[in-house]
């Protein structure tokens, strides 16, 4: 299996000289990632997207809330119980060049996996597995084994890290900005690789700041802002009919080569903004009061099946037109 569920996950960092201040990096994040699906976690810097990835990989602790993997609470795993989870949930990170030790050959990452997870597998069988994993990420084993990291390109190194994850019986991959360091001509190969892995039943959490990449590859899109989910839904819904002012602003900021967006919807959006309304408020006039009552705990409104939106006005300086005149915004300021 490999179903990952996040329930009201929060992360508070201690910051400041003596850890006296706190930073609420992730606020009440809940979503589910099904096997065979790519979930894109999209946000600008400081939105908490990498923190979420790290909590899933257990690289950092969860302040409150639960992360469930196939129904089991991940935080409760200790010692030896942790190994099966680590074998099933793996991460690949942004910078392929610093993921390798330059002193050793690049394929050391594979032998380390063998030593710590599969010490009993015979060498010949391991070599076969390794070759299959490399071919699975479209790498030629002769071209990348027994080489030092500087002899390989960024795209090759990044694909080797994906191959390392595949060597274990991984069923969920956290891909944190894995292509932002790669060149444009090889970028799309790594993206397509994720797409192919998905058809083999792997679940992927694709963390990115680049909306066009998130849009290209994912099935579900989650837009994060200041640690909170502002919009969530199938990628087609979120990108074709962005309903949160922040999502709309992000999409408008993306430089486009050929503008493929539906002009009708954008005119509608612009008109709605001029009227000072947002779709959330149009359909849920009563939500204003609810959100204000819950204060720090805004509800998400389902504006169409599976497409959820949080109102912006719970954040200071939110982009929602109603926030400026709305009572909730003022109450918060006092």
Partner 1 sequence: MTLVVNDLKVYYNTLAGDVRALDGVSFEIADGEIMGLAGESGCGKTTLGNSLIRLDGRMRHVDGSVELDGQVLPIADSEAMDRFRYHSISVVPQYAMSAMNPTRKIGRMSRELIESRGIRYETVREEYERRLTLVGLHEGVLGLYPMELSGGMKQRVVMVLSTLLDPSLLIADEITSALDVSTQKAVAESLVGLRDNGFVRSMIVITHDLSILHEVADTILVMYAGHLAEKAPTESVIRHPRHPYTRMLIDSLPEVGVRFDQKRLEGIPGKPPSLLDPPAGCRFRARCPLADEVCQEQPPFVEIADGHQVACWKVE
Positions in the binding site for partner 1 (CB under 8 A): 44-45, 153, 155, 183-189, 191-192, 195, 209-213, 215-217, 235-236, 239, 249-251, 253-258, 260-261
Cβ at position 192, least distance to partner 1 in Å: 6
Q: In what order do the strands lie in the sheet with 220-225?
A: 89-92, 172-176, 203-208, 38-42, 220-225, 228-234, 307-310, 300-304
Cite the DSSP H helix spans in the chain. 49-56, 82-88, 108-117, 123-136, 141-144, 154-167, 184-199, 211-217, 235-240, 245-253, 263-274, 279-283, 287-294, 321-325, 327-333
Beta carbon nearer to partner 1, 259 or 286: 259
Beta carbon nearer to partner 1, 3 or 261: 261
**Cα(305)–Cα(303) distance, rounded to whole angstroms?**
7
Beta carbon nearer to partner 1, 124 or 253: 253
Cβ at position 152, least distance to partner 1 in Å: 9
Mapped onto helix, strand or coil, the DSSP state of residue 225 is strand
Q: In what order do the strands lie in the sheet with 21-33?
A: 21-33, 4-15, 64-69, 72-73
Beta carbon nearer to partner 1, 106 or 251: 251
Cβ at position 154, least distance to partner 1 in Å: 8
**Cα(169)–Cα(90) distance, rounded to whole angstroms?**
10
Cβ at position 271, least distance to partner 1 in Å: 21
Q: How many CB atoms lie within 10 A of CB 121?
A: 12
Cβ at position 17, least distance to partner 1 in Å: 14
Beta carbon nearer to partner 1, 151 or 297: 151
Cβ at position 140, least distance to partner 1 in Å: 11
Beta carbon nearer to partner 1, 213 or 328: 213
330's tokens: 């003022």
Nearest by Cα to 298 from 210, 307, 308: 308
173's tokens: 């991959």
């Amino acid at each position: 299996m490999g179903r990952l569920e996040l329930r009201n996950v929060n992360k508070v960092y201690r910051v400041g000289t003596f850890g006296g201040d706190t930073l609420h990096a992730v606020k009440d994040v809940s979503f589910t990632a099904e096997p065979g699906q790519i979930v894109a976690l999209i946000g600008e810097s400081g939105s908490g997207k990498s923190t979420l990835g790290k909590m899933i990989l257990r690289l950092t602790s969860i302040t409150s809330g639960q992360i469930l993997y196939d129904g089991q609470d991940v935080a409760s795993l200790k010692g030896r119980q942790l190994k099966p989870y680590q074998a099933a949930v793996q991460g690949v990170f942004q910078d392929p060049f610093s993921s390798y030790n330059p002193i050793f050959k690049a394929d050391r990452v594979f032998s380390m996996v063998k030593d710590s997870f599969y010490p009993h597998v015979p060498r010949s069988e391991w070599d076969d597995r390794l070759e299959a994993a490399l071919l699975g990420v479209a790498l030629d084993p002769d071209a990348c084994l027994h080489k030092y990291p500087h002899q390989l390109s960024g795209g090759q190194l990044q694909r080797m890290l994906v191959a390392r994850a595949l060597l274990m019986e991984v069923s969920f991959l956290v891909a944190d900005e894995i292509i932002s360091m790669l060149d444009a001509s090889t970028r799309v190969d790594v993206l397509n690789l994720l797409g192919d892995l998905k058809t083999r039943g792997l679940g992927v959490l694709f963390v990115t700041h680049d909306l066009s990449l998130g849009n290209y590859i994912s099935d579900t899109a989650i837009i994060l802002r200041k640690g909170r989910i502002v919009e969530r839904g199938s990628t087609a819904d979120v990108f074709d009919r962005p309903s949160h002012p922040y999502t709309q602003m992000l999409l408008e900021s993306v430089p486009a080569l050929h503008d493929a967006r539906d002009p009708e919807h954008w005119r509608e959006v612009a008109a709605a903004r001029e009227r000072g309304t947002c779709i959330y408020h149009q359909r849920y006039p009563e939500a204003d009061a609810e959100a204000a009552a819950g204060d720090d705990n805004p509800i998400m409104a389902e504006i169409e099946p599976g497409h959820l939106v949080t109102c912006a006005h719970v954040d200071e300086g939110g982009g929602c037109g109603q926030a400026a005149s709305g009572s909730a915004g003022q109450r918060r300021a006092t």
